[in-house]
């Protein structure tokens, strides 16, 4: 039980730092977008430095911020799940729902972060950069695998909950 409480503390720290970084980044980008002056900020999307402000940049910025928000939300849901496990609430409707939410928000996050940035990079530089990478922690493939793991785990927990409920009904 001590290990899970240590994990809970780590998640709390990650959530706080993630929120601080996200809020300060979004605030800085919004200030740059409103002023129309990105020269004091070094912003790159898909390796291209952004020096001018346009509507496409604003849309990409908003979509990427939403993507990061989904990622932070999935970490928050993981913290809630750990809290349930500490209270010994394993096979409940809420734990199944929380696992599914974690999986779906982790699945949406890389698409909202990478796809708009990739499209913006293609539209602005007119070159396509393709890289063949193995599966690494920062890759979209890894995010999809982890997301699917949480979604599958939610189905397993649901089946375990059904079996647990049936066992409680038998005398």
For the chain, the domains span: 2-169
Say what the pTM is: 0.77
Q: Residue 161: count other Cβ atoms within 10 Å of its Cβ.
A: 16
Residues 6+ apart with CB under 8 A from 79: 8, 11, 12, 15
Note the pLDDT of residue 130.
47
Note the pLDDT of residue 160.
92
What is the full per-residue pLDDT of the chain (171 aa) written as tens digits? 678 888 888 888 888 888 888 788 777 777 776 776 656 666 666 666 666 667 777 788 888 889 888 988 998 999 999 999 889 888 899 999 999 999 999 999 988 888 888 888 777 765 554 454 555 455 777 788 888 999 999 999 999 999 988 888 876
DSSP H or E stretch at residue 80 = helix 55-86
117-120 long-range contacts, Cβ below 8 Å, gap at least 24? Answer: 117/45, 117/46, 117/60, 117/64, 118/46, 119/60, 120/45, 120/46, 120/56, 120/57, 120/60
């Amino acid at each position: 039980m001590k290990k899970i409480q240590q994990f809970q503390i780590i998640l709390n720290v990650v959530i706080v730092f993630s929120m601080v970084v996200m809020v300060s980044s979004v605030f800085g980008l919004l200030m740059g977008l409103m002023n129309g002056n990105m020269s004091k900020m070094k912003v790159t999307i898909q390796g291209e430095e952004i020096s001018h402000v346009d509507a496409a940049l604003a849309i990409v910025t908003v979509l990427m911020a939403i993507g990061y928000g989904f990622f932070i939300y999935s970490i928050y849901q993981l913290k809630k799940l750990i809290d349930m496990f500490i209270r010994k609430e394993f096979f409940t409707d809420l734990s199944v729902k929380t696992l599914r939410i974690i999986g779906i928000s982790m699945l949406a996050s890389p698409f909202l972060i990478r796809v708009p940035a990739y499209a913006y990079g293609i539209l602005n530089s007119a070159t396509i950069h393709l890289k063949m990478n193995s599966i690494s922690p920062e890759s979209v493939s890894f995010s999809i695998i982890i997301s699917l793991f949480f979604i599958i785990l939610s189905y397993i927990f649901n089946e375990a909950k059904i079996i647990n409920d049936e066992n409680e009904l038998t005398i």
